[in-house]
Every structure is written in structure tokens, then in C-alpha cells.
Amino acid sequence: MKKKNRMAVIYGPMDMKIIDSEIDDPKPGQVQIEIKAALTCGTDVKIYKRGYPFLTPPFPTGHEYAGIVTAVGGGVDPELIGKKVVTSNGAGCQYCFYCKRDKDNLCEGMEEDYDEFVQMGGGFAQYINVSAAIVKANLMVIPDEVPFEQAAMVEPVSVALHGVNKAELRVGDTLCIIGAGPMGLLKTQIAKMRGARVIMLEKDPGRLAKAMELGADVGLDPGKYDDIVSVVRGLCNDGRGPDAVIEAVGQPATWELAIALVRKGGIVVEYGGCAKGTTITVDTVRLHYDEITIKGSYSATAYETETAGTLLSRGLIRAEDYISGVYSLEQTREALEAHMNGEGVKFLIRP
């Protein structure tokens, strides 16, 4: 039996409406969740501003959420009904070339059946049906004492963890992070858990102060220095530069800055997604003779999703440090625009 479902839908760039719709009963392998908390994300803002390459308008939006299971499809344990749960927004098929190599974040099933393996929308709503693949790999029951907004942080924490894992930090390493948005801040906290020293580069004074509050050891506004590369390198390893650099902005210029900052033999993680069609230039002599490793970072594995749930359940990362305001479902547009305009870190939407 269909339920009424009020939800946020994207019709085009900067065109979002709250509509009344209906949601079907969950199909085999699926669960239906009544959403109790959803969070804004930089990806939601990008989708709101310019759309999404794999989605044709109109499409629902929102992908960081937690709630209560209200119905299950065939083959799913009915004992889940009434449980507090959180999911990721994607899953691997577990049998393709990449899944077999522990790279389920690069699953080929996502290309073959995107809607089954990835759900980039539907979180800004009263209800959502979660695909069978995601239920199987990345649905977690959350303890009663964990608030819904805390659980809703699982997806961003898992993605931040994936980027830090790529940096291969060792205790005592120095990590430079470019960009103190939600991802840069989460990476700061996770890197500190790894025993790293963190240098944060951020132009916005409020975000820079937040990074220091969450554990960064040094905070620098790169706009205040004529040669930020020399400044950062001078703070690390007797002038050699940081052991690793994570770019968390998503601009070609800062991708290149990350490469310029890192020491010989260091690792650069290009996390921030740049616009389609953009390119960067790399000094081949430095890449070759300095043995720099440059990595991309996309999404998260099932293992990292599980680990994120553990970090949040233990309170090692707190949603209250990231949530800058609360909005109703009717105010989803206002929440996205507040995020877009840098009025806070993340915003909570309560359907």
C-alpha cells in the first residue's frame, strides 16, 4: 500500500520544489525508512547548482540520512521493522573485477545499474526505499542512545576516512589539508586520531577557526602569503615539506598546489572533485625524481562505512561539531543555500 511522501525534487539548476508524492511498498531486498534526520552536503549543493551527470531532472535530492525502518521487502528480516538505521548512498556488487580486489567503491555494477548501486537522492523526504544492494552491504542498525543526526554522519565520515586512508599516515607524520569545509574538518579529526600533525590551509576565517577547534595544529590563510609553498614546507621535516597533502577544495589550482607542497617521497591525495573537463599540469621532473605519489579519492568502501559507524557510535566524532542550524523539510532550499553561501558547516533537515 502506497504512502504519501513529501519530498524535495530538483527540476534543474537552482530549481528545487517540495512536492507531494507517493512511495511504493519496498521491493524484494529493499527496506523503507521513515527519515528522522538528513544533512546537507557539498555534493547536494553542487547538484542543486548544476545538476548531476548520472541523473536526469526531475530527481529527488539528499543522501545523508538516518531513520526508522517502517517496512521491508521480500527476503529481508521483518525484525528490522521499528529499528533505528543508517545507510550509505552506495554499495558494491561484491562480484565484479573491482569488488573482488577490495575496491567496492569502484564497482562496475554502478555503471551497469546505477539506480541499484547508488542512491544520490531521496534523503530530503519523509520516506525512502533503499535499494537491495545497499541494504545488503551498507545498512547498519544504530544503538538507541545514538541520535539520528549523529547516525546521519556515517556517509561523510566514511568518505573522509577513505581519503585519510589513501594518505597512508604514520604516527608522527605531518599532513597538510587544503580546505576546511566539512570534508577537510572531518579529515582533520581522523588524521589526529592517527597521530598525525595537521596543517590546515583555508581562506575563510570562520572555517579556519573551526579547524583549529577540531584539532589542527597550524592554521594558515594562504592568501596572506606571497609564497605559501615555502611557508608550509618550512614548518615540516626541517624544511622538506609535509609527508602527505590532501586537497579538499576541488579546484585545479589547489590540486597543483597540493603537488607543490609535498616532500620528496610524499603522498598527495586529490580528494576534491573538480568540474568535468578540467585538467592540471604536473612537473614531470619533480614527479619522477622526487618519487611523489598522486592519488585520487572517491567515495568509500563497505569497510570504511562500517568503521565510520563505529567512530560515531563511540562519540569520537560528534554531529554537534558540524551542524550549524536546523531546518524543516519545507525549508530545504534555504538549508542548501545557507550551505552554499558558507553560513555554516552542515545543516540538519528534520522532515
What is the CATH number for 21? 3.90.180.10
For residue 311, give every residue at least 6 positions away whose Cβ sits within 8 Å of its Cβ, in sequence order, or none: 157, 161, 190, 317
CA distance 273 to 287: 21
Exposure of 16 in the CB half-sphere (CA atoms within 13 A): 29
292 and 186 fall within a common domain: yes
238 and 342 fall within a common domain: no
74 and 135 fall within a common domain: yes
Amino acid found at 11: Y
Is residue 124 a contact partner of residue 332, using CB atoms and an 8 Å limit? yes
Q: What is the pLDDT of residue 152?
A: 98
122 and 188 fall within a common domain: no
Q: DSSP assignment, residue 78?
A: G
Question: Which element (helix H / strand E) includes 336?
Answer: helix 332-340
Report which of 218, 293, 232 is spatially closest to residue 259, judged by C-alpha positions.
293
8 and 144 fall within a common domain: yes
Q: Which residues in the chain land under pLDDT 70?
A: none
184 and 285 fall within a common domain: yes
Q: With the C-alpha atoms ordered 143, 146, 149, 154, is the resulting torsion angle positive or negative?
A: negative
Q: Look-up: residue for cell 597538510?
A: 176
Q: What is the pLDDT of residue 110?
A: 85
Q: What is the pLDDT of residue 112?
A: 84
69 and 115 fall within a common domain: yes
Rg of the chain (C-alpha set):
20
Q: What is the pLDDT of residue 55?
A: 84
Does residue 57 belong to any structural domain of this protein?
yes
Pairing of strands 267-270, 293-296: parallel
What is the model's pTM? 0.95
Strands (E), the chain: 3-12, 15-23, 31-39, 59-60, 64-72, 84-87, 127-130, 139-141, 174-178, 197-201, 218-220, 244-247, 267-270, 293-296, 323-328, 346-350
| The total number of structural domains that make up the chain | 2
- What is the CB neighbour count within 10 angstroms for residue 267? 21
Q: What is the pLDDT of residue 18?
A: 97
Q: What is the pLDDT of residue 275?
A: 85
Residue 30's domain comprises 3-153+317-350
Does residue 138 belong to any structural domain of this protein?
yes
